[in-house]
């Protein structure tokens, strides 16, 4: 298992985006932040990083549990990413 991988690949692998190009576009469009900083699609993520993704009115927040770069089945995603989105964001 890798120690780090590109943010666009990781977001696609944990099913935040349907395609890797959607993930890349979101990074380029300033909709993705890692540990509070705007990033480029080539930014590497590591275990423990906190990722914020803005989709529509809601900003989803994830903590990296394990780094992967291959797309996972929906049931396996909790092994790699913890959804720590606040309730008030989900209510939007």
What's the pLDDT tens digit per position in 34-92?
Answer: 999 999 999 999 999 999 999 999 999 999 999 998 999 999 999 999 999 999 988 88
- State residue 1's pLDDT score: 63
Separation between Cα atoms, residue 61 and residue 39, nearest integer Å: 15
In this prediction the pTM is 0.92
- State residue 90's pLDDT score: 85
Among 19, 10, 67, which Cα is nearest to 39's?
A: 10
Higher local confidence (pLDDT), 89 or 23? 23
Q: DSSP letter at 19?
A: S
Contact present, 82 and 75 (Cβ < 8 Å): no
Lookup result for tokens 């927040």: 61
- Mean predicted confidence (pLDDT) in 5-32: 96
Number of H helices, E strands in the chain: 3, 7
Q: Region of 48 please: left (phi>0), alpha (psi -120 to 50) or beta.
A: left
Separation between Cα atoms, residue 66 and residue 76, nearest integer Å: 11
């Amino acid at each position: 298992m890798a120690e780090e991988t590109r943010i666009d690949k990781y977001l696609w692998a944990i099913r935040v985006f349907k395609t890797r190009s959607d993930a890349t576009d979101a990074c380029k469009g300033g909709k993705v932040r890692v540990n509070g900083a705007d990033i480029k699609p080539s930014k590497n993520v590591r275990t423990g990083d906190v990722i914020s993704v803005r989709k529509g009115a809601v900003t989803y927040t994830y903590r990296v549990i394990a780094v992967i770069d291959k797309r996972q089945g929906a049931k396996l995603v909790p092994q790699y990413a913890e959804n720590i989105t606040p309730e008030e964001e989900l209510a939007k």
